[in-house]
Structure formats: C-alpha cells, structure tokens
Structure 1
Amino acid sequence: MSTRGLEGVIAAESSISSIIDGVLTYRGIDIDDLASHASFEEVIYLLWYGKLPNQSELDQLTKQLAENASIPQELIDQIRLFPNNIHPMGALRTAISALGLFDQEAEEMDDDSNIRKAICIQAKIGTIVTAFARIRAGKDPIAPRSDLGVAANFLYMLTGEEPSAISVEAFNKALVLHADHEFNASTFTARVTVATLSDMYSGITSAIGALKGPLHGGANEQVMATLEAIGEVDKAEGYILNALANKEKIMGFGHRVYKDGDPRAKHLKEMSKALTELTGQPKWYDMSVKINEVVEREKGLKPNVDFYSASVYYSLGIERDLFTPIFAVSRASGWIGHILEQYANNRLIRPRADYVGPQKQDYVPIHQR
C-alpha cells in the first residue's frame, strides 16, 4: 500500500538528527541548547563527526574552513556570465555543480577525500552566494577574511562592512537552527543521489534543487513577500482573514512533523524582536506577531522555522530572494553529514511504485488509432 509523499514511512536509519515528541536534536543534543550556546562551526563538527569538538578540533576545523573559503577566479568569471534576473538558487545550483569541475579529486571516494570535499563545499558555498549577490548588483565580490567565522564572514562578504555583534549572533543562531532536520526533502534527495555512488558535488547540487522549491526552502521568501504586501501592523488582521477566506495558503505555518509547534521558531522570534528594534523597524516583528495570532486563532496552526527567519534576515539587510540560499549555506552542513553517513553504510535507494494505471492493454497499430 502506497503512502502519498512517503508520510510516516521510515526510509533508513540515521544517527545525525531526530525529531521525537516535537523535540529536535542533533546527535542527541537538544536544539534549544545548541541555539543558545553553540557556534555554527561546532554544529558542523557535531553533524560530521558525531560529537562536539574540543578546542583543538574546533580550531582546526575553523582554520580549514577559513583557508578554503575563496572560490576560483574561473568560477567568478562564470558567475559574471549568469543573467542578472535569475533566482539566486538557480545560480547557486549551477555554481556548486561547476565547482566540482575544478576539483581534481571530485571522483575520489575514500574517507580523507570526502572530508576534504566536505570542507571545500561548506567553506565556499557562502562565498558563492555573496559573490552572485554582489555581481548582479554591479559590484565586485569581496574576498573572505581568515579572521572571521562563517556567520561574520558571510555578512562581511555581502556588505563589505564588519557586522555588529548582535548581527553575527542572530545569523549564527539562524545557521545553527537550519543546519539539519532529519529526512527532509533536500536531505533525502542528497542521499538518493549519492546512494548511486555519485560524487558529493552531485549530491549537494541535487539537494539545492530540492530546497529551491517553495514548499521546502522557499517558504521564508514568501513570508517576507506577505509582510511587504501588508505593509503596516493595523492592516495585518484584515489581510490574513481575507486570504484565509479565499483559501490562500499562509506561508510559514504548520509542519508535517511538528503538530505542537516548531521548536526552532521561538529562537528566531526572539532575534526578530531584538533586530527589528535595533534597526528602528519594529513593525516587521509586530506584524509577524499579529499574523501569528490570527492564523493560530483561525486555523490552529503554529509558526515554523521559516516564519520569523524572514524578518530576521530582512533586518540584517539581506534581500528577500537570498533567504533560501542562506538556508542552503546552513543546511549544507547537514546534507554533508548525511552524505558521509550514506557512503559509510551504502545501499542503493530504489523504492517501488504502486501502479494504478490501466492493465491488459493491446498495442494498436498507428493506422487504426
């Protein structure tokens, strides 16, 4: 018997992240603890190696990421040839695929080679996103700085200005919260791809293609589009009630796995409040809270991770269509963890379909049709 969307189907065993009774953990550590205390670099190490790093291990990974953050000039030249009006996720998908062409060991499948590729992809994905963002705006890309961590470097490469401490804290928290989420659509896509023993670049490219969809990574873009369409707090309730009456989907609410609310949402709600106040635009937070109240009252749906992340990114000066690429910068850490786990105990992923089409049909020659 088939299940639409594979809902509730256990596809494999994994020790990377879990969602049990509404609690999200990475390697058994509650997301609340990680969001409150961990750097993104610590989370990367945790997802890849199965434990939190000691200081020496963290320093080494941080150094490796910094040393590998620059992208080839040839890739920058290719990005300059991309049309300026394409979606950044399309640019990222193509750029990551192209990045594999510059790696002479892309096809090597031993453990050391795969870890080296993992560091290369994780280090460069943020650089690619910021390079495209600046090039399409008619600006030159900014090279990464070796003295900045992943979160600070991304904001620096995007704007050319050293980010404030609260901006780095907010962005680091967003990266931690988005890093992994069990067998979501893009993660499963990555595992299906590499289960054929395809290379890691192909796995990440496939995952980006899945994340690009508005029912997965693109939801936070749609949340910001809704906020901008509403414009003012006093218009929020009427707008949402009208949308619900017209049976329109309000993005950023509900989740197939979480029935009692997404545990990640509260952290981004706190950062949204702090950042919108800091930037003098509290209306984005206030509007979000009002929408939250109306949707929960009328539909019984709670916000998911995408809802408050929209106003967080907007307050950091990030363009709306870069929200999903930022998701990819973070989720690459989880994708890579799952790819490494798939390689370590691989079996080709090849499900069956429940055929519901016509049967016992005869071939009819073309002159009789």
Structure 2
Amino acid sequence: MVITNGATQQDLDRAQARIAFAASPAVSAAGGATPASDVPRGLKGVVVTETVLGDVRGREGFYHYRQYSAVELAERRSLEDVWHLLLFGELPDAAARARFAARVAPLRRIPDGVAELLPGLAREGRRAGAGTLDGLRTALSLAGSARGVGPLYDADEATRIDDALFAAAVTPTLVAALYRLGQGLVPIAPRDDLPFAANYLHMVTGVEPTPVQVRAIERYLVCTVDHGFNASTFTARVIASTGADLVACVVGAIGALSGPLHGGAPSRALDTLDAIGSPERIDPWIREHVLAGDRIMGFGHPVYRTEDPRSRLLRGVAEEFGGELVTFATQVERRVVELLAELKPGRKLHTNVEFYAGVVMELCGLAREMFTPTFAVARTLGWTANILEQAADSKIIRPSARYAGPPPPQQVPAP
C-alpha cells in the first residue's frame, strides 16, 4: 500500500530500523573500545548494507532481481538469462546468451580427482544417514580445492567471476552424482547440448525430461534463485566479508540452508499432504494440529504479509500438470487458510514457496530427498552473486553480543 510520496510501508519500516540502529543506546563492547547498538532479535528489519541485486517487499507480495520482477522473469526468461542478469547486471541478447552458454558448459564437469572420491563419499553418507545436501558440502569443497579457488581477498574481479561461474555450474552435477551414487546408480555426465534445467533433470533421473517438466522446473529454479538477506545468503556474505574463498562461502550457505526452518520444508509440506490423506480428513487433521500449536509446514513466511508470489507462480505451474495431487493440494490450501482464519482470527497465513514447490518437483520426477538439494542448486546462483557483491566491500561483518552471564570478574576457585 502506498503511504506518502510513493513510499511503501516497508520503506518506512526500513527507515525506522535505520534510525533505531543509529540512535539506540550504546552499550560497552570490546572493553568499551567499540560502541554497540541494540537491535531486534534475529536482526529483523535491520538494514546491514546496500545491494543492487534485488529486494523483497513483504507487505506488497513482491520481490525482484535487480530492476525486474522475479516472477515475471520466471515466466518469460530462461534460468541462464537470470543468471547472467545477476552476475553482469543485464539480460543477454541472443549473441550474449550463446557466449554465456559456451562459457558455462565446460564448468559443469566434475574435476577428475573429485569424481573418483564421490562413490566413497556417497557410501559413507548413506551409512551415516546423511543426505545429498550433506555430501554436497564436502564434494563442493573438494571441487574448489581441485580447481585451486583462492581467497576472495587476493583475487581480481575476473578471477572471482570465474570462480562464481564454476561453483554455480558444478553444483547441480555434484548433486545429481551424489544422489545417483547413493541409489546405487551410475552418475550421468552433463550434456553441453542441454540448458541448465533440462541438464539437471536428466542427470538426476537418467531420462531426458519432457518440455513441460523442463519449463516447470526452470520456473521453480528461477523463482528461488535469490530472496533478500535470508539466513543462507547472509551467511555467505558474512564469510565473504572475511576474504575467504568463494567456495567456502557457498559451503557455509549450504549449511544454513540445510536447517528445517530455512530450506528443509518442501518435502515436509508434501509429507503433510500424505498425513492428511484424503479430502474428508482435511478439517479434523488441521483443527487438531492448529489447536495443539503445531506448525503447518508450507504456510506462513517471516517476510510476506500477503500471499507469497512464488507460491502463486508455482500453483499455476502445478495446475498446468493437473491430476489428483494438484487437486488435493489446492483443496488443502483453501481449507487451511479458512480454518486458520477461524481458529486464529487476526492472523493471516498463506502458503509459502515450499507448499507448491514440493508438488512441482514431485511432478517433475524428483525424489523428496532431492527437494532441498534442488533448492540449493537454484540458490547457489544467488549466493555467488551476493558473494561477489560482498567481496567488493573490504569491511568485515563483525557484530556484537550483550553478555548475560554471571557478573565478571570472579575469583577462579582453587582446583
């Protein structure tokens, strides 16, 4: 909603956050040498830097990559185009698109020394009950070492971009190889003739996907490339601010994404549909869990106060497939929203990206254990763009904490 002079409510919130950050009472930190300011728990609403990569307007239900609507980009442009936009600031024409594809294609291949280690990594991961995302952290770190990726602090801009392209290009190949090895299957090499989304589905499933599946998964990937300063993106930027190597930044982001409160929800949202089971069980199941205070996975978002635009996009993608799963998902969505309004009046909750993301990925032939790794495949493009932006700023991110333990100094007791 427009408030004054074209400013939105979110603009005003951010301005107030800046004022609060600047004017809040200082407390002693680092022995009184550095003043610290109190900020909201979880840094909610705190502006920590400026970015040209995009923003999320939660009250409007809108987000963008650079100057373009992210949803419109997902509907009208390819993932490669959006990748190019984030890294270089412009959408490519046909000639630039061909050059970019030729530049990226050889970077998809896993370094030989790393490929030899993947069977053991997948085997040990399965033995320990770890998933593909856990293996990706180790495999990507090994790939970065094999390539010789050095600290951002020491690298020039061209080298940083090359490293960013490598990390984003090799990640889907590593994800697909680890998954297939964990299933006792042979990894499938990337194909230079397939674009990003088609190549990924082919490497994971072993069959060439249909055009409908390719376009569906591509729209999912595009709409989840970036989304403001979420936990994993902020983690990547904190690591980048230390001057660490780019792959280390991505590995840290993957660790943040692995948490169920961040990237682990798509399969859990689909598990909710399974638990409900049938239309006649929707009301009693939802009532029971809402009244018990349980979280309904796939609903609610910390930023959006209206419908998540990614959910709206993916609902449309799912409806293009049709079928029992999609029909049931839309029934559940409608009744959950209605029942939450009844049981929790004044608290508006809508589906978030995870609810229909799980439906779309399942319809595209991806196993549920691959939902969050696929999210990581998309988000790596956004992480690397953020890492490059952060690397251009030499200031390390180093916040403070208020000590809340027993008052020091106390005498150390005798042994």
Question: Counterparts in 2 of 1:1-369, with a 5 A limit?
Answer: 1-20=38-57, 21-82=60-121, 83=124, 84=126, 85-107=129-151, 109-277=155-323, 281-290=325-334, 292-294=336-338, 296-297=340-341, 298-299=343-344, 300-367=348-415
CA shift digits 1:273-306 (9 cap, x unpaired): 22243xx644553454345434553442011111
Matches of 2:318 and 2:338, distance apart in 1:
19
Matches of 1:135 and 1:275, distance apart in 2:
30
Unaligned runs of 5+ in 1: none
Matches of 1:232 and 1:59, distance apart in 2:
48
Matches of 1:134 and 1:287, distance apart in 2:
34
Matches of 1:109 and 1:145, distance apart in 2:
30
Matches of 1:193 and 1:52, distance apart in 2:
28
Whether contact under 8 Å (2:70, 2:223) holds in the other structure is: yes
State the SS of the aligned residue for 1:145: coil
State the SS of the aligned residue for 1:68: helix
TM-score for the superposition, normalised by structure 1: 0.94
Matches of 2:283 and 2:137, distance apart in 1:
37
Whether contact under 8 Å (1:240, 1:294) holds in the other structure is: no
How far does residue 57 in structure 1 lie from its aligned partner after superposition? 1.6
State the SS of the aligned residue for 2:293: coil
How far does residue 318 in structure 1 lie from its aligned partner after superposition? 1.0
Moved more, 297-306 or 36-45: 297-306
What letter matches 1:327 in structure 2? Answer: F
* Structure-2 change in CA distance of 1:282 and 1:180 (3 Å): closer
Whether contact under 8 Å (2:232, 2:253) holds in the other structure is: yes
Task: Count how many residue pairs are aligned between Structure 1 and Structure 2.
Answer: 365
Moved more, 105-114 or 300-309: 105-114
What letter matches 2:216 in structure 1? Answer: A
What letter matches 1:178 in structure 2? Answer: T
How far does residue 229 in structure 1 lie from its aligned partner after superposition? 2.0
How far does residue 43 in structure 1 lie from its aligned partner after superposition? 0.7
Whether contact under 8 Å (2:325, 2:359) holds in the other structure is: no
Matches of 1:2 and 1:212, distance apart in 2:
26
Moved more, 120-129 or 52-61: 52-61
Matches of 2:143 and 2:61, distance apart in 1:
37
State the SS of the aligned residue for 2:401: coil
Whether contact under 8 Å (1:261, 1:304) holds in the other structure is: yes
CA shift digits 1:161-214 (9 cap, x unpaired): 111111011100001100001111000000000100000000000000000001
What letter matches 1:28 in structure 2? Answer: Q
CA shift digits 1:92-137 (9 cap, x unpaired): 1111111111012434511111111111111111111111111011
What letter matches 1:149 in structure 2? Answer: P
What letter matches 1:229 in structure 2? Answer: A
Matches of 2:149 and 2:107, distance apart in 1:
15
* Structure-2 change in CA distance of 1:114 and 1:281 (3 Å): same
Matches of 1:208 and 1:34, distance apart in 2:
25
What letter matches 2:218 in structure 1? Answer: N
CA-based RMSD: 1.7
How far does residue 86 in structure 1 lie from its aligned partner after superposition? 1.2
Matches of 1:65 and 1:206, distance apart in 2:
23
TM-score for the superposition, normalised by structure 2: 0.84
Matches of 2:317 and 2:377, distance apart in 1:
19
Matches of 2:106 and 2:408, distance apart in 1:
62
How far does residue 27 in structure 1 lie from its aligned partner after superposition? 0.3
* Structure-2 change in CA distance of 1:78 and 1:292 (3 Å): farther
Whether contact under 8 Å (1:106, 1:199) holds in the other structure is: yes
How far does residue 225 in structure 1 lie from its aligned partner after superposition? 1.7
